[in-house]
Amino acid sequence: MRVLVVGSGGREHAICWKLAQSPKVDQLYCAPGNGGIAQVADCVDIKATDVDGMVAWAKDNAMDFVVVAPDDPLALGMVDELEAEGALAEGSRTDLLENRVVLCASGIIMLMLGILGEYIWRALDAARSRPPYIIDELLENQAEEPHGQE
């Protein structure tokens, strides 16, 4: 499986590090990546916020799976654009981002008022980006066929 991770921070490094351990990942790329990520993935010189460039690169290089982690590309609709081009992508879609903001704002207000404290912490935790183990589940559900074969 050919996988692209979008971003260059610690979260993306952790995602790449875990994906590099999967026997299902044949080629791992990160755009733009960083020096640490370069130890486990091939870095691609495309800004994380360059939606058109990232979508074109993913399509041109036949990526099987794209993980979009940073908030800026998510807010710019990168996952929506990747999916519109037929790519399997992980990350919040723009229609879901508003729900995350509302949930966080609601949680802050309720915490300030002392309402349902523990419940709100759990809700806020659930609203965060999916944890790395979700990637294992997504990879587990992919076809066992090598890239390019049907």
CB 31 within 8 A of CB 54: yes
Give me the mean pLDDT over the 115-132 stretch. 53
- Name the residue ranges covered by the structural domains of the chain: 1-91+130-150, 93-128
Cα gap 90→69, rounded to integer Å: 8
Question: Residue 147 CA to chain centroid, in angstroms?
Answer: 21
Banded model confidence at residue 33, pLDDT cuts 50, 70, 90:
very high
Question: Residue 69 CA to chain centroid, in angstroms?
Answer: 4
pLDDT of residue 31: 98
Please say if the pLDDT value at position 95 is more than 70.
no
Percent of the chain scored above 90 by pLDDT? 39
The domain 1-91+130-150 is placed in CATH, from the list 3.40.50.20, 3.30.9.30, 2.40.30.10, 3.40.1360.10, at: 3.40.50.20
Cα gap 34→116, rounded to integer Å: 41
Which DSSP string do the residues of 105-116 spell out, in sequence order? Answer: HHHHHHHHHT-S
